[in-house]
Amino acid sequence: MDGTAPQKQAEAAPRGGLGPRGRGLFGRLLQGLRSAPAPRTEGVSIAIGSGKGGTGKSFLATSLAVLLHRAGVRTALVDCDFGLACDHLLLGVKPALTLQQLLAGQATLDQVLCTSPCGPTLLPGASGVRRLANMGDKDLLGLARELGAMAAREQALLLDLGAGISPATILTMLAADWVVLVTQPEIAALVDAYAVVKCVAQLDERAKFLVVVNRVAVPGRGELAFQKLTEVARQHVGVRLHYLGEIADDDSVSQQRLGQLPLVATDPGAPVARSLEQLARRLAELCGGLRQRELPAEQGLEARFKQHRLFL
């Protein structure tokens, strides 16, 4: 054995220290810890939920997607009614691929996204798929990644949720910048809307809620219903809700056939279409403008989804 070898070894790796390779690795690790992760540039994400089924979430989400697109906002709609999707039917799209293939790794985001005839981009959901209705951890992480990727492309990202308070639904609300609650003047719908506020606010007291009262029979009743809801939310969970507006109960909506284009596109002068236009304008105002903005990495949509996932 060479007598100088131990000396060389000692130079390369001082006692108790790291060799050059170790120091390089250690240095890179330290540098990684010191430098904060890069900020994210994302559009505004808006989850549309209700608690109770059939309150008009999909009708509102598809109408807003068309109106925002027409107002020059780069907008995408994600059908987050996991396993019971229908937004493609309301937007006149026949998708070949859906969220199902995307989460299964059988298609890329670009392959699954569709441009609907009225303009906004749609990430179609799947219907009758039990795996999506009851997503496991792998699917939830995949969903977080894809939603984050979409938020990075768009100025407004609308997330049309299903009824109920499944973990995936609550997580999507927690991850979004805003939650639009669609309710109706009936007590059952208001009680369920309150239940959603309670669930979400208990997990994140900074969650921001906007309320739409749909299917209002007498003008002005929407605001009265909102006042009851906001008072209960303030008293019991200390949350302030913001009123977005009301939509009349109108036969022209219920008579729309699946596969037809949304009313805001086919009959923009109809009273319901006009109220929806006002809602879209007010939504943009209340959100402080629908555009891309820079966020600290941990406040991006994907990061928020993953953080909240740990507590559900």
What residues line the site for Mg ion (CB under 5 A)? 57-58
Per CB under 6 A, the list member of 124, 162, 262, 300 interacting with ligand ATP is: 162
Q: Give the distance from CA 79 to its chain's centroid.
A: 10
Question: Whole-angstrom distance between the N-terminal and C-terminal Cα of the chain?
Answer: 61
Closest approach of ligand ATP to the CB of residue 192, in Å: 10
Site for ligand ATP in 226-265 (CB under 6 A): 247, 249-250, 253-254, 256
Choose the stretch contacting ligand ATP; rule: CB under 6 A; options: 32-40, 56-64, 113-121, 282-290: 56-64
Q: Give the distance from CA 29 to its chain's centroid.
A: 34
* CB closer to ligand ATP, 120 vs 148: 120
d(CA 223, CA 216): 10
Closest approach of ligand ATP to the CB of residue 56, in Å: 3
Binding partner of residue 54 among ligand ATP, Mg ion, none, CB cut-off 5 to 8 Å per kind:
ligand ATP
* CB closer to ligand ATP, 43 vs 56: 56
Q: Are 139 and 132 in contact (CB under 8 A)?
A: yes
User: What is the CA angle 181-185-186, rounded to 5?
Assistant: 105
Q: Are 222 and 79 in contact (CB under 8 A)?
A: no
Choose the stretch contacting ligand ATP; rule: CB under 6 A; options: 48-56, 150-158, 205-213, 278-286: 48-56
Closest approach of ligand ATP to the CB of residue 58, in Å: 3
Burial status of residue 254 (CB atoms within 10 A of its CB: 0-12, 13-18, 19 or more): exposed
**Torsions phi, psi for 79 (to 5 deg):** -80, 100
User: What is the CA angle 99-102-103, rounded to 5?
Assistant: 85
Per CB under 6 A, the list member of 45, 58, 75, 172 interacting with ligand ATP is: 58
Per CB under 6 A, the list member of 40, 42, 46, 56 interacting with ligand ATP is: 56
Per CB under 6 A, the list member of 59, 82, 178, 305 interacting with ligand ATP is: 59
| Residue 169 is a binding residue for ligand ATP (CB under 6 A) | no
* CB closer to ligand ATP, 18 vs 270: 270
Pick from 268, 34, 165: which is nearest to 179 by CA? 165
Stretch 88-127: interaction string toward ligand ATP, x if CB under 6 A: ----------------------------------------
Q: Which residues of 87-99 are buried (b: 16+ CB within 10 A; e: fewer)?
A: bbbbbbbebebbb
- What is the helix (H) or strand (E) element at residue 256, kind and residue range? none
Q: Are 292 and 155 in contact (CB under 8 A)?
A: yes
**Residues of this chain that bind ligand ATP (CB under 6 A):** 50, 53-59, 81, 162-163, 214-215, 247, 249-250, 253-254, 256
